[in-house]
Homo-oligomer: A and B are copies of this chain.
Amino acid sequence: MSRIVAMRTHDVRFPTSVLLDGSDAMNPDPDYSAAYVRLVTDGGEEGHGFVFTIGRGNDVQVAAIRALEPHLRGLPLDDLGEAWRRLVHDSQLRWLGPEKGVMHMAIGAVLTALWDLRAKRAGLPLWRLLSTMEPEEIVDTVDFRYLTDALTRDEAMDLLRRPGRQDRIDQLMRTGYPAYTTTPGWLGYDDAKLDRLCREAVADGFTQIKLKVGGDLEDDRRRLAIARAAVGPDFKIAVDANQRWDVPQAIEWIAALGDPHLAWIEEPTSPDDVLGHQAIRRAISIPVATGEHMTGRVMAKQFLQAQALDVLQIDATRVAGVNENIAMLLLAAKFGVRVCPHAGGVGLCEAVQHLAMFDFVAVSGTREDRYIEYVDHLHEHFVAPVVVENGNYLAPAVPGAGTEMRPESIREYEK
């Protein structure tokens, strides 16, 4: 077996704040960034991963990735469940979380790089690699610690024995996976730009958009009216408050928006507030979505146990890599909850599409009413940029996890 012999890290920052792409009620001026890691084997192969950040602190995230270097030489490249355990359960590093925040996301970047390496070795895009793995191989990558009151290894095996994988692979190859677009909805855009981008979304074949809300109620109502007029009555509109509200305020504000047909309200309050989301969900009639800031499987478990969400929005770089997202997909399937991944940022679309497609093929078995978020920026920096056509992500064919950035982009934007 070969092994990892080198780790290269890069602090990559794109100056997105200049154009107010990505501006919302909590994030007025993000500079989309990546704490980027390349793992190199003794055979010269590479695996790439990263943590998405929005600017300041990207250096801290790089430092956290570097702190994992002593583990690298010993990591078993053929047993990524064991790799998870060694990294996540390092008894000293664990103190810095456990399983949350900077250190956990750093572990996620390294694990994703290992999956990228593995998929490249197999000559398969990650979604296909995962879709060809036996149920037992898949559950071996999952850490069931702290989950067994909600999901056991045996239950996960049963979920993964769903028949018809090849059929669903064929469907994906033909029609891809539905996307929704957040491109029109940033708070920093004026009304004319909002109107234009909404119309473009319809013309481009999307069936759902998402608008940012929570800055000012009258602005929200006006912008919703503009969007609704632009997209027509049957088009889906989701809204996203980016954690702006307290629980009582969320309930009031959502009622005051006055639109009972919204596709969902996203991040109405603190992403850690399971009971808060539960209270909000009980008080309102539109679906509740959250997940892009969910620290991992223990929080996912509770949100599901508490029936605190309708839509789980997994994120490719918030949790400890592919392993933990598999755990979260299995939990969602067990509880019968929809998964609509968070994306955008830097490379999140490229990475998370693999997880959604794997979910369709091998876990939930359905794409119904499910969408991967799409934002049309920064894709040009990736070796295998996503292809979205007629409102669908086309199934990626390039081997790997989608996480490899072009070397020229790294050079140009490295801090």
Pick from A78-86, A160-168, A271-279, A397-405 the stretch touching chain B. A271-279
The reply on A97 being an interface residue by CB < 8 A is yes
The reply on A133 being an interface residue by CB < 8 A is no
Residues of B within 8 A of A147 (CB): 246
Q: Which residue of B lies closest to A97 (CB)?
A: B101
**Nearest Cβ distance between residue A270 and chain B, in whole angstroms?**
4
The reply on A29 being an interface residue by CB < 8 A is yes
Q: Which of A57, A63, A306 is the most central at the interface, judged by chain B CB atoms within 10 Å of its CB?
A: A57
**Interface bin, chain A:** 35 or more
Residues of B within 8 A of A56 (CB): 67, 70, 90, 92-93
B276→A53 contact, CB < 8 A: no
Q: Which of A148, A272, A274 is the most central at the interface, judged by chain B CB atoms within 10 Å of its CB?
A: A272
The reply on A230 being an interface residue by CB < 8 A is no
A373 to B286, CA, bound (A): 47
B100→A272 contact, CB < 8 A: yes
Copy total for this chain:
2
A337 to B61, CA, bound (A): 37
| Known contacts A31-B92, A53-B96, A95-B53; is-contact A102 B299 (Cβ 8 Å) | no
Residues of B within 8 A of A269 (CB): 146
B96→A102 contact, CB < 8 A: yes
Residues of B within 8 A of A91 (CB): 26-30, 54
The reply on A193 being an interface residue by CB < 8 A is no
Q: Which residue of B lies closest to A273 (CB)?
A: B298
B149→A54 contact, CB < 8 A: no
The 8 Å CB contact of A54, one of B26, B61, B92, B100, is: B92
B298→A57 contact, CB < 8 A: no
Pairs across A and B, CB under 8 Å, 12 listed:
A28-B91, A30-B92, A59-B63, A60-B60, A60-B96, A96-B102, A98-B293, A102-B102, A146-B247, A146-B273, A149-B246, A149-B276
Contact mask A362-394 → B, CB, 8 Å, 1/0? 000000000000000000000000000000000
| Known contacts A102-B102, A103-B102, A298-B270; is-contact A247 B60 (Cβ 8 Å) | no
Q: Which residues 7-44 of A sit at the B interface, judged by CB distance below 8 A?
A: 26-31
A247→B149 contact, CB < 8 A: yes
Residues of B within 8 A of A148 (CB): 246-249
A95→B146 contact, CB < 8 A: no
**Nearest Cβ distance between residue A347 and chain B, in whole angstroms?**
15
